[in-house]
Structure 1
Amino acid sequence: MKIVAVTSCPTGIAHTYMAAEALQMAAKEMNVEIKVETHGSIGVENEITSEEINKAHAVIIAADTKIDKTKFEGLPIVEGTVQDAIKNSKGLIERAMKLKKEEKEYVEKISEIKEEKQNKKKGPYHHLMTGVSYMIPFVVAGGILIAISFAFGIHAAENEGTLPWALSFIGGGAAFALMIPILSGFIAYSIADRPGLVPGMIGGMLSAQIGAGFLGGLVAGFLAGYTIILLRKWIKLPKTMEGLMPVLVLPLLSSLIVGLLMLYIIGKPAAAINNGLSNWLENLQEGSAIVLGLVIGLMMAFDMGGPVNKAAYAFGVSTIAAGQSSSVMAAVMAAGMVPPLGIGIATLIAKNKFTKEEREAGKASLVLGISFITEGAIPFAAADPLRVIPSLMAGSAITGALTMLFKVKLAVPHGGIFVLPIPNAVEGLLPYIISIAIGSVVTAFLVATLKKPKVE
């Protein structure tokens, strides 16, 4: 029996491949042939061919983002999240094995009902993460280009025609300018498929132009997606004219509705809230800033790449969207580096608390930590959650609070230590490094103290 699968997480960095590996390992134990296609940050890898689809018994889609199911038409589909694949890969495979191709119509009906229920229960988060997953590469590329322009001097980009100006213009004038339209467009795409892209991106561009920013972009994306769904229900054309719906009727009417609502109703309140948030962050008193850093640290370590972690990261990105250094983004990245770094250090200083395999994984965890891939700590947290997760949260909370106390600011939304050497990318580089080191040591000490010795 052969099964094909697709995995995709919002960032396309760690969970995507962890889910794929879990499915492959489970299939090997169950003596089932499987091929897993990954939708990561660098695109589709290990792509499933038409021939493999024809030979497959069923398809498993373990994704937290929108996946085009067109090519799997005719195959029974088992759907789940990447967490389902990581934690219960055997369960997904067993469900797929029980399905029969003859059951296709029945499965499709069940899937429709299930999709409606899922949209009600967790639709908004799923749609938001789809938008964020497409937005992140623009944010990262733009942020790093802006940071490189700072290397020539903090005001070097002001001289038009120079290389620093060009780098800043590409990063801020192009990549960052596309960030909110991409976010809005792909939120709408997740809700309403391809017809949602046009009103979503137009709404996002309007949000950016009228100063409604990240918040306005979120509203525009959801508004565009659900507008398309309502128009599909309300407008019924004769069969001879149905071809006009996707190319004329839907894009025109939805863009008009979303555009007018953004300009006359939603835009000004969203811009006021956006400006208020910016002013509040700029004027935070020391005590309030420390509390905010503490909360950000707890969120980054709580589920290590899950919904809470992604919410904190999205908040950090929203504060850096204007192309300026952000204290929130500094706390987010520092706190996100601590869990895998702390675990890696713990495997070195308390070897008797870990198996040989865990000590080897600890080395990889260190590399993931310096790269700002928080998910590197997940295997250790899953194996001993009651002791490990509180330890991770404590270290990250301390780091987040310290970065705020030291008033560190970061101009780059990703990259870990590899962006720290760029001149002017970090305001307060030494305190930033110290904050990360302290949090990592605290986590390592707590893990080493709380965990019980392992018997090989």
Structure 2
Amino acid sequence: MKFVAVTSCPTGIAHTYMAAENLEQTGKDLGHDVQVETQGSAGTVPLSDDIIAAADGVIYAADLEVKGKDRFAGKPFVDVGVKKAVHDPKAVLEAAIAAVENAPKAGTPEAAAMAAAAPTPGKSAARDVGVGTRVRQWLMTGVSYMIPFVAAGGILIALGFLFGGDEVVTKLYGGEFEGVTYENVAGSLPLGFPSGQSFDTLLSQAGFAGILFALGKISFFLLVPVLSGYIAFGIADRPGLVPGFVGGLLAAVLGAGFLGGLISGFAAGGLAYALTRLRVPKGVRGIMPVVVIPLVSVIVVGLFMIFVVGKPVAALTTALTDWLNSLAGASGIVLGAILGLMMAFDMGGPLNKVAYTFAAAGLTTAVASESSPAFQIMAAVMAAGMTPPLGMALATAVRKKLWTEAERENGLACWLLGASFITEGAIPFAAAHPLRVIPSCMVGSAVTGALVMGFGNELRAPHGGIFVLPLVSSPVLYLVAIAIGTVITAALVVFLMSLDAKKTERLAHAEDVAEGVAA
């Protein structure tokens, strides 16, 4: 059979492409042709019309709304989360085969009825899911578009400090750091630069480091508007963008921050969606998306943010920041352990993303400080996220007989994935041995997170893994924390796998033989 598939995940990085590779390889192993369209952070290369037309069925392995779903209308399909395709692609493909075999034959009345009921272009082809799942999809849409801004902004700010020292802020802003205020918005330079100064003046007083810092501030300032705008986009499509971005910008200016952006995104998306469903006279219908919906939604969302949301959420954000600043000693170590457990529990899933987003959002309020618990939290989260793949890499190296040839190859790749802070590298092991791998990774990551908080390591960059080590305070202790967590993870995995070593080695050997025969 011939299948087409679409894969996507909240961040558009690891799961999207791992699911695509697994589906293609499994299809090849089972004698079927699977062509995959990855809707990830690197952009989308749509499947051609000829390939879609020739397909017998469709596989949706996506945690976000599939773009252009109407292209596949009328074809039998299966709709699963992206993790299902990563963990068990064979089951997904078998379900797709069953869907094709059970579909009405072409030319029959049943097939005609199915085609008539299929969504037409312009109508939603979204799957029938619960409210909780839908809300999570909308939220993850905003987060997936926000993460590149986090990475770029955080690393630029960290490089500014690396090349210019902590005094780069004083040189740039001439004294106390004011952040991005209305005066910055109204000044002669873009957001994040001091008001009323030219690039030449900025370069002469703060140097190239100041330029890097200011560019990072621009990226960070856009976090909340982008989050809000694309949450609204996920709910209402294009009509949600304008009120979403305006509401997010107001959340940032009013000090409501990340929480305000979440509220504005859902409010803007819900309002825009409601407006698009209004029945209006034919003469007004043409100007609805261009004039009426943007105008009404921006006014309503703007007033809502200014008079209802702004001050209370800003106060709550301030209280959360003060609580973070109060963390020290034992409480900080406990927080580091909890964040480590979250990073390793689902390795790129919702809990992992909550911990990462919590850390990255904290950076936006602390980038100008000489020291802040937010920097320690970011360091703990990154180190804890590096530990699972590094632990699995070590485990496959020290006890090779416990693993299949494919797992040993994955272990080699995990050295680079772990060093790059790509926690998803450990997923193939977690999928194959969940009760042995996941608890081991959680313990190792918890120890690493607690040690980082205990050592007081700080990090201003939200991504980069070992490659941003020069930006970490006390880098030797940071490496020690990661190494300890890696060794603990590997030791626990090897111990648990060795509880029934003979059976494990026999299965691994059998799989190696089967792979050799297939080759």
Partner of 1:57: 56
Answer whether contact 1:214 1:321 (CA < 8 A) is retained: no
- Cα deviation, 1:253-283, whole Å, max 9, x if unaligned, reads 1111111111100111111111111111111
Instruction: Give yes or no for the alignment of 1:388 onto 2:437.
Output: yes
**Which of residues 147, 156, 176 in structure 1 aligns to 2:168?**
156
Partner of 2:7, secondary structure, is strand
Structure of greater relative contact order (alpha carbons < 8 Å, 6+ residues apart): 1
- Cα deviation, 1:86-125, whole Å, max 9, x if unaligned, reads 224224522552446742343449xx99957525131121
Map 1:29-428 → 2, pairs under 5 A = 29-45=29-45, 47-69=46-68, 72=71, 74-76=73-75, 77-86=77-86, 87=88, 88-94=91-97, 96-98=99-101, 99=103, 102=112, 103-108=114-119, 115=126, 117-152=128-163, 153-156=165-168, 158-159=171-172, 160-161=202-203, 162-172=207-217, 174-233=218-277, 235-322=278-365, 324=367, 326-421=375-470, 425-428=471-474
Partners of 1:224 and 1:387 in 2: how far apart? 44
Q: How far did 1:292 drift? A: 0.9
- Cα deviation, 1:274-330, whole Å, max 9, x if unaligned, reads 111111111113121111111100010001111111111111111112362622211
- Cα deviation, 1:50-80, whole Å, max 9, x if unaligned, reads 3322333343222112332256163435432
Structure 1 length-normalised TM: 0.93
Answer whether contact 1:61 1:80 (CA < 8 A) is retained: yes
Count of aligned residue pairs for this structure pair: 448
Answer whether contact 1:148 1:167 (CA < 8 A) is retained: yes
Partners of 1:92 and 1:255 in 2: how far apart? 45
Partners of 1:449 and 1:5 in 2: how far apart? 39
2:409 partner amino acid: E
Partners of 1:365 and 1:200 in 2: how far apart? 39
Partner of 1:417, secondary structure, is helix
Answer whether contact 1:330 1:403 (CA < 8 A) is retained: yes
Partners of 2:361 and 2:494 in 1: how far apart? 36
Partners of 1:129 and 1:237 in 2: how far apart? 32
Partner of 1:451: 497
Change (3 A) 1:95 1:219: farther
Partner of 1:151, secondary structure, is helix
2:54 partner amino acid: K
Map 1:4-23 → 2, pairs under 5 A = 4-23=4-23
- Cα deviation, 1:386-441, whole Å, max 9, x if unaligned, reads 111110000000011111111222111111101112xxx22332221111111111
**Which of residues 450, 458, 480 in structure 2 aligns to 1:434?**
480
2:479 partner amino acid: I
Q: Which has the larger radius of gyration?
A: 2
Q: Which segments of 5 or more consecutive residues in structure 2 lack a partner in the other structure?
A: 105-110, 173-201, 368-373, 510-519
Partners of 1:259 and 1:222 in 2: how far apart? 13
Partner of 2:39, secondary structure, is strand
Change (3 A) 1:92 1:139: farther
Partner of 2:322, secondary structure, is helix
Answer whether contact 2:70 2:119 (CA < 8 A) is retained: no
- Cα deviation, 1:363-393, whole Å, max 9, x if unaligned, reads 1111110011111111111111111111000
Partners of 2:414 and 2:407 in 1: how far apart? 10
1:2 partner amino acid: K
Partners of 2:12 and 2:95 in 1: how far apart? 21
- Cα deviation, 1:214-267, whole Å, max 9, x if unaligned, reads 11111111111111222234x321233212221112111111111111110011
Change (3 A) 1:212 1:91: farther
Q: Which segments of 5 or more consecutive residues in structure 1 lack a partner in the other structure?
A: none
Partners of 1:395 and 1:408 in 2: how far apart? 18
Identity of aligned residues (%): 49
Partners of 2:438 and 2:455 in 1: how far apart? 26
Instruction: Give yes or no for the alignment of 1:2 onto 2:13.
Output: no
Partner of 1:326, secondary structure, is helix
- Cα deviation, 1:200-219, whole Å, max 9, x if unaligned, reads 11111111111111111111
Answer whether contact 2:145 2:230 (CA < 8 A) is retained: yes
Answer whether contact 2:74 2:118 (CA < 8 A) is retained: no
Partner of 2:129, secondary structure, is helix
Partners of 1:140 and 1:190 in 2: how far apart? 22
